[in-house]
Chain A
Amino acid sequence: MLAALLVMALGAVVLGAALGFAAVKFRVEGDPLTEKIDAILPQTQCGQCGYPGCKPYAAAMAKGEADINQCPPGGDEGIRKLADLLGREYKPLSAEHGVEKPKALAVIDEQRCIGCTLCIQACPVDAIVGAAKQMHTVIAAQCTGCELCVPVCPVDCIDMVPVAENITTWKWKYPVVAIKPVTTQ
């Protein structure tokens, strides 16, 4: 009886120590759920969701404070993925946060740019290059299309130009299933 108790107690101590060690050694930095949600969000960093970027919105969703249908750039597909991940019901994009638009890039009309640097300060991903009183330009490959630079420009020289399809971004269409006409006598 005593031996059995001792064995059990010893087991408890050993396993407890192992667990404690593992908790310290394999500690997960950050919040894994937030990371997972953040991986789904489009990283446009536009703030339309009501949070100052995708990560804060992800954190709010992870805490259950925010709904899953507040990100217009992510669109319908994004909401579906979030619903899948979080085990919540799908719901359409909330109208108060905006509408889903085709992706566009900011283009600065370089003739009109006065070099005020305001757009540089607004751009969340450093996609604009320029310097005070120098012409500015957008690095197309880095622009996320968040539109944050558009309202701050004092001479209104930034336009959002929709991204056109080209040979490399063209996609094969979903095969159309031919429907056989039914002839009635």
Chain B
Amino acid sequence: MQLFDFNGGVTPEYHKEASTQSPIAVSPAPSRNGLKNFLVIPLHQSIGGTPRPLVSAGDRVLKGQRIGAADGDMSSAVHASTSGQVVAVEMRRMPHPSGLSALCVVIEADGRDEWIARQPFDYHQHTAAETRDYLRDAGVVGLGGAVFPTHLKISPGKGGKLDTLIINGAECEPFITCDDLLMRERAEAIIQGVVILRDLLAAGRALIGIEDNKPQALAAMTAAVQAGGHQDMAVVAVPTRYPAGGAKQLIRVLTGIEVPHGKRSTDYGVQCFNVGTAYAIHEAINLGQPLISRIVTVAGNVAAPRNYAALIGTPLHTLLANSQPLPDTDRLIMGGPMMGITLPGDEVPVVKATNCILVGSPRLFPPPPPEMPCIRCGECAKACPADLQPFELYWFSRAKIFGKAQEYHLFDCIECGCCAYVCPSHIPLVDYYRFAKSEIWANESEKAAADQAREQYEFRQLREAREAQEKAARLAARTAAGRAAATNALAMAPVTAPAATSAAASAVTSAATPVTEPAQTPSPQAALIAAALERARAQQVQPANTTNLTPEQQAEIAAIEARRAQIRTQAHPHLPPDD
């Protein structure tokens, strides 16, 4: 098969052997030897809206039970990773560079690991929309690191079908080996997931791209494809070069299609999923198990680097315990050395995005040399796999000229770090891009809020104008009615005069002017007063509904009034008595 090449890229040291020596281990099981074990499951674990909590403190939950419901379609559900009791739904520190907290469900594991009733989902019997909803409620998201809700990617694009389904097993970043081990050990299950994806997307063929530094994974996957007798699937070894595992880069290498800036790959008949995601889809559809665990590599400055099947919500210190971080450990990184983020502490939980915990030390990652001015050597542009001009992006981000940075396609930057890796001036380029991107996002949301406020304000003004108009119309109508009433009153003056007060009499006199001079219209105010008086008189004659009450009814009213008075004093205990 003909392979293509992408521009740029780097070949750092891979450090992958250490963690691939032993098979995947199960991360310390919750609640062993009577030791209390807590899982902290953040509600917001994917791109999109934050799921609504479905449980509260004190509830008992089963393994796989939905504890957070997707907030709209652009969101994904979360589930209890083991059985136990919810001890709190509260703010906990997140595995996020900010070190800020977010809403989490804290579950005390009971050690029984009791599943919900699991039922396979026969997607042949359901519509595409139903299958998408099922995957959303099963919490399946992209496990390559981007955690984009998978159900949103399962739509075949414009033509109603896809030419090529690409399964990403490249795993190009140093230290990370979770996909490698998954492919070695669970190749059949991954292929079953690929079959589901192929059916759902009506894909013509499926290409599974794996970097050629993983011969065992390549062999296992090829064997699984052959065993399944899938003629439309091929396992392809791609050259090892970072970042061959970037979606656009892998698409380019396997199909030669270059997805232009700001376009979607489905417009070109290609869609890309990670092997871990395919595995999760198999578990959700064929086994009825929602996404509650994932494979996490623990590597770097540890005595025993290894891959673990860890429950979502496992605190990092529990996960790391078996691998024994060395004493000079000074930081924890989620992800790899190129794209990873430094974590705020070891109590944060494993989330769906956690592919690797890289334990760092000053020996392993010495502090970078001081930043020097950009000499515009162009090395970064040569290394950029997204075909950008990193030095321009750097310049505009640094100078906070964000509009220009966007013109240079800042948002096509995949933050791969190749540019910073090769920069002879040691400029932390990606830090500048992250800064610029978050500033632009903040500006955009501010702008959206301002636009909404403007709309609301203009609507309110419109409404006020309309109300004023309506009021004027009502006033005019009443004036007309009042005029008629005044005429009547004058006609009946001898009869009603004794009942009228002196004020009414004067009103009537003033209102009477038009009658004596029919050509002149009455002053609206006078007519109104007369009309109001007329109404008041009419009401006086009518019996009120509070007269002729039985003693029981009166007692009831008294009781109600007493209750109201009591509520009033309760509602305002802090108000001074004179208030």
User: What residues of chain A have their CB less than 8 Å away from a CB belonging to chain B?
Assistant: 38, 41-45, 53-55, 111-112, 124-127, 142, 144, 155, 165-167, 169-175, 177-180
List, in ascending order, chain A residues with CB within 8 A of B575's CB: 155
Closest to B574 in A: A112
Given A169-B442, A172-B435, A175-B435, CB of A126 within 8 Å of CB of B460: yes
How distant is A43 from chain B, measured CB to nearest CB, in Å? 4
* Alpha-carbon distance between A184 and B439 when the two chains are bound, in angstroms: 40
Q: Are A167 and B438 in contact (CB under 8 A)?
A: no
Instruction: Report B91-113 residues with CB < 8 Å from chain A CB.
Output: 94, 96-98, 100-102
List, in ascending order, chain B residues with CB within 8 A of A41's CB: 450
Q: Are B435 and A142 in contact (CB under 8 A)?
A: no
Given A172-B435, A178-B370, CB of A167 within 8 Å of CB of B96: yes
In the assembled complex, 27 residue pairs joining A and B whose CB atoms fall closer than 8 Å, in A order, are A41-B450, A43-B450, A44-B453, A45-B457, A54-B454, A54-B457, A124-B457, A124-B460, A125-B453, A125-B456, A126-B456, A127-B456, A142-B452, A155-B572, A155-B575, A165-B98, A166-B102, A167-B44, A167-B98, A167-B101, A169-B445, A170-B96, A170-B98, A170-B100, A170-B438, A175-B428, A175-B435
Closest to B97 in A: A172
Closest 9 CB pairs of A and B: A125-B456, A43-B453, A43-B450, A171-B438, A175-B431, A172-B434, A170-B98, A180-B370, A172-B435
* Alpha-carbon distance between A44 and B431 when the two chains are bound, in angstroms: 32
Q: Are A125 and B370 in contact (CB under 8 A)?
A: no
Given A38-B454, A43-B457, A178-B370, CB of A111 within 8 Å of CB of B100: no
The binding surface of chain A is classed by DSSP as loop
B571 within 8 A of A: yes
How distant is A80 from chain B, measured CB to nearest CB, in Å? 11
List, in ascending order, chain A residues with CB within 8 A of B456's CB: 125-127, 142
Instruction: Report B492-546 residues with CB < 8 Å from chain A CB.
Output: none
Closest to B458 in A: A55
Interface digits, B535-579 against A, CB 8 Å rule (1 contact, 0 not)?
Answer: 000000000000000000000000000000000000110110001
* Alpha-carbon distance between A126 and B464 when the two chains are bound, in angstroms: 11
* Alpha-carbon distance between A141 and B439 when the two chains are bound, in angstroms: 20
How distant is B391 from chain A, measured CB to nearest CB, in Å? 15
Q: With a 10 A CB-CB cut-off, give which of B434, B454, B574 has the most chain A CB atoms.
A: B454
Closest to A112 in B: B572
List, in ascending order, chain B residues with CB within 8 A of A111's CB: 571
- A43-B449, A175-B431 given; 4 more Cβ-contact pairs under 8 Å: A41-B450, A167-B98, A170-B96, A180-B370
List, in ascending order, chain A residues with CB within 8 A of B450's CB: 41-43
Q: Are A126 and B459 in contact (CB under 8 A)?
A: yes
Q: Are B453 and A172 in contact (CB under 8 A)?
A: no
List, in ascending order, chain B residues with CB within 8 A of A175's CB: 428, 431-432, 435
The contact of B370 among A53, A167, A179, by CB within 8 Å, is A179
List, in ascending order, chain B residues with CB within 8 A of A112's CB: 571-572, 574
Q: Are B431 and A172 in contact (CB under 8 A)?
A: yes
Closest to B568 in A: A114
Interface digits, B444-480 against A, CB 8 Å rule (1 contact, 0 not)?
Answer: 0110011111101101100000000000000000000
Q: Are B371 and A166 in contact (CB under 8 A)?
A: no
* Alpha-carbon distance between A126 and B456 when the two chains are bound, in angstroms: 7
How distant is A96 from chain B, measured CB to nearest CB, in Å? 24
List, in ascending order, chain B residues with CB within 8 A of A45's CB: 453, 457
Q: Are B435 and A177 in contact (CB under 8 A)?
A: no
List, in ascending order, chain A residues with CB within 8 A of B102's CB: 166-167
List, in ascending order, chain B residues with CB within 8 A of A55's CB: 454
How distant is A122 from chain B, measured CB to nearest CB, in Å? 11
Closest to B446 in A: A42
How distant is A51 from chain B, measured CB to nearest CB, in Å? 13
* Alpha-carbon distance between A142 and B435 when the two chains are bound, in angstroms: 27
